[in-house]
Structure 1
Amino acid sequence: MDQLTAMRTFRHVVDAGGFSAAALVLDMSHSVVSRQVSQLEQALGAQLLNRTTRRFALTEVGQAYYQRCVQILDQIEDAAQMVHHHQSHPSGLLRINAPMVFGIMEAGKWLPEFMRSYPDLKVDFVCNDRFVDLIAEEFDVGLRITRTLPDSTLVAKRLCASDMVLVAAPAYVKRHGAPRTPAELAAHNYMAYSLALQTTELTFSGPDGALSNVAVNGNLQSNTGMVVCDAVRAGMGITASATFVVCEDLRRGDLVQLLPDYRLHSRDLYALYPQNRHMSPKVRAFVDFVGDYYARNRWAF
C-alpha cells in the first residue's frame, strides 16, 4: 500500500462527504476508494470511519488522524509548489566564480543589468586567480578564459573568443623600438602572467601559417594580469594579453599592438557549471544572459 496515496484518498472521502463523492473527484471506482481506506485502517491498526449503508462518521481517532493528514498533505503541497516556483523562476543565491582580471574588467558592464532583470536573485560574485573547484566550494557557475579545459564532469558552454595580442606602451616602443619578427623579442623585456600555461615561450602563427616558438624573458612576472598590464602601460616592457584586458587601451592609443601580422593562440570564454539532470533556472538565466551579451564582438579595437 502507498500510505501517502491512501492518506489523500481518506482525506477526499472526509472532505467530499462519502466514498462515492470522493470516487468522482478522484476519478476512481467506489471499490478502489473503499479498499484504500480499509488498507489504511489495517496498516494503522485502528478504525477511522464508522460506516453504514447511507452515511459514515469519523471515529474519535479518525478525527484526530484526519486533522494530521490535512496538515501533512498541505505541507507536502506547499513544498511541491515551492520547488515548482524555484524551477520556473530564477531566485535564491547565485554563486559565481571568475578570474580576478575578468571580474574587474568585465562584470561591471553586464552584472547590474542581469540583476535588474532577475530581482529575486542574490549574487555572490567571487574573483580570484587560483584554481577553484566549483563543486567543492559550492559555486553554481564559473567563468573561465582559457585555451584548453581540463577533463571534468562540469558542463562547459563556450561563449566567445578573446584574441591574444602582443602589446607595449608607445613610450616603450619609442625607447626600445618595435620588434619586426618574433625572434627579435629576445632583445626585449617580456613581462609574464605567471599562471599562464607558458611563461618563457610564445608560439606565433606567421603570415604563411607557419608556427614558430620564441623564448622570452623579462624582469617581472605576476599571478594577476592586472599587475603585468599596469607595468606595460607604464612603459616597462612588453606582454601578451587577452584583448578583453587591453582593447580599450588599444582604442585610445595608450598601448600599441606589436607584430600584427603574427597571431598568438586565442583564448575562449566558457561558462562552467555542474552537470545536473535538471538545470536550475538561476544558472540557466545567467548562462543565457552572459551568452547573449558576448554573442557580439565586444573586444574589437
Structure 2
Amino acid sequence: MQRCKNGMKLDDLRTLIAIAQQGSFRAAASALDIPPATLSRRLQRLEDTLGSQLVIRDSRNVSLTPLGQNYFERCQPLIDDLEAATSEIQDSSQNTPRGALRISAPVGLLTYQLMPLFNQFLAQYPEVTLSLNHLSNQQHDYSPEQYDVVFRVGQQPDSSFAAATIGESQRIVVASPCYLEQQGTPQTPEELALHARLASVPEFEWALTSKQNNETVWLNSPVRMAIADLNSIKQAAINGLGIACLPNYVVADALNKQQLTTMMPEWYSPPRPIYMLYQRLGYVPLHISHFIDFMRNALAKQHS
C-alpha cells in the first residue's frame, strides 16, 4: 500500500475524494469497489492521521467539513495527476493493452448490439477484463469514478464525459400476423389506441409522427402489459398478446423471420441517437483507448 512520509496512505486519501464526489458512503464504497466498513475504517484512519474531522456523518447525509472541503479541493487534482502519470508510464512500457474496463449499458442495446462486439474485443485482447454490472439507460447514474465507458440511448445532458454518436435507435410499431388477422390492422394512432398495447417500462407513451404533415401524436392509451425488459415485450408480441413499439435492433430478427410485421406506413417514431460516453479530460489508459477505437470502428461498419 502506498504511504506518504507522514504515515498517510494514498488509499485513505482516495476514500475522502470518493466520498466528496459520490455524496454518500455507500456510493463511494461502490465506486472504490470496497465494503462500506473498509471505507469507514480508511476515513477514520485519515482523520486520525491529520488530527481533524473531515466528514460530517448523520443517519441520512454525508457532508465535508470546511477543512475537509478545502483538503479535498487541493488534493483531488494531485491524485488525478499522479494516477494519470502512473498509468502513462505503465502503458509506455508495454505494447499489449491490459487492465479492467468498467462499462454501463442498457440491457436491450447490450443484448442485441454490444455484447457480440465485447466478446470480439476480449478475444483480441486477452489481458483486458470487463465488468458490466449496471444495466440501465438512466441519464443521471454515471460518473467517471464509476465507469470508463457508458452507452446510452437518447439525448444526454452535459457532463464530464465526451459523447460519440455510434448509431440510431428507432422504435417500430409491430405485432404478430396472427394478432392483426384477428383484431385488424390499425392505420392511425386513433385506431391504434383501441388495441392492446405492450409497453416497455418506462416507455408508456409512444410518440408517432405523420410523414404527411410532421404532426406528432403522443399515444397514452391503457397498457395491457408493461415490463422493464425489451425481449419479454417482443416475445409477448410474437405470441399475439398485443401491439408493441420497440427499437429496430430488438425486432430486426423477428421481422426477418416474419414472426412480427409492421403497420401504419404513414407514421413513424422519431429516431434517437445512440452514444458512447467516455472520459473527456486527462490521460486515457491504453486498454480503454483501444476499446473506444474498437467499438467506434465496429459500429461504424455495422451502420455503413
Settle same-fold status: TM greater than 0.5.
Answer: yes
Alignment partners' CA distance in 1, 2:169 and 2:87: 44
Deviation at 1:251, TM superposition (A): 1.0
What letter corresponds to residue 128 of structure 2 in structure 1? L
Tell me: CA distance 1:297–1:113, structure 2 relative to 1, closer, same or farther (3 Å).
closer
Tell me: CA distance 1:243–1:201, structure 2 relative to 1, closer, same or farther (3 Å).
closer
Asked if residue 241 in structure 1 is aligned to residue 249 in structure 2, the reply is no
Asked if residue 84 in structure 1 is aligned to residue 84 in structure 2, the reply is no
Deviation at 1:130, TM superposition (A): 6.3
Show the counterpart of 1:274.
Answer: 279
Cα-to-partner distance string for 1:43-74 (whole Å, 9 max, x where unaligned): xxxxxxxxxxxxxxxxxxxxxxxxxxxxxxxx
Alignment partners' CA distance in 2, 1:79 and 1:127: 25
Pairwise mapping of residues 159-174 of structure 1 onto structure 2 (< 5 A)? 159-174=166-181
Local SS of the residue matching 1:187: coil
Asked if residue 207 in structure 1 is aligned to residue 212 in structure 2, the reply is yes
What letter corresponds to residue 157 of structure 1 in structure 2? A
Root-mean-square deviation (Å): 2.6
Show the counterpart of 2:150.
Answer: 142
Local SS of the residue matching 2:300: coil
Alignment partners' CA distance in 2, 1:182 and 1:158: 30
Local SS of the residue matching 2:121: helix
Show the counterpart of 1:186.
Answer: 193
Deviation at 1:189, TM superposition (A): 0.9
Deviation at 1:256, TM superposition (A): 0.4
Show the counterpart of 2:294.
Answer: 289
Cα-to-partner distance string for 1:74-130 (whole Å, 9 max, x where unaligned): xxxx997425236x6521111111111222222342222111222221111335236
Which segment is superposed worse, 257-266 or 121-130? 121-130
User: Structure 1: which 5+ residue stretches go unaligned?
Assistant: 1-77
1:232 to 220, 237, 247: 237
Local SS of the residue matching 1:220: strand
Given that residues 206 and 212 in structure 1 are in contact (C-alpha distance below 8 angstroms), is that contact kept between their aligned partners in structure 2?
Answer: no
Given that residues 144 and 161 in structure 2 are in contact (C-alpha distance below 8 angstroms), is that contact kept between their aligned partners in structure 1?
Answer: no
Local SS of the residue matching 2:197: coil
Local SS of the residue matching 2:133: strand
- What fraction of aligned residue pairs are identical, expressed as a percent? 23
Tell me: CA distance 1:188–1:283, structure 2 relative to 1, closer, same or farther (3 Å).
same
Given that residues 149 and 277 in structure 2 are in contact (C-alpha distance below 8 angstroms), is that contact kept between their aligned partners in structure 1?
Answer: yes
What letter corresponds to residue 256 of structure 1 in structure 2? T
Given that residues 104 and 136 in structure 2 are in contact (C-alpha distance below 8 angstroms), is that contact kept between their aligned partners in structure 1?
Answer: no
Tell me: CA distance 1:189–1:137, structure 2 relative to 1, closer, same or farther (3 Å).
farther
Deviation at 1:226, TM superposition (A): 2.2
Given that residues 137 and 153 in structure 2 are in contact (C-alpha distance below 8 angstroms), is that contact kept between their aligned partners in structure 1?
Answer: no
Deviation at 1:216, TM superposition (A): 2.9
Given that residues 188 and 218 in structure 1 are in contact (C-alpha distance below 8 angstroms), is that contact kept between their aligned partners in structure 2?
Answer: no
Alignment partners' CA distance in 2, 1:109 and 1:164: 22
Local SS of the residue matching 1:295: helix
Alignment partners' CA distance in 1, 2:163 and 2:222: 34
TM-score by length of 2: 0.64
What letter corresponds to residue 258 of structure 2 in structure 1? G
What letter corresponds to residue 206 of structure 1 in structure 2? K
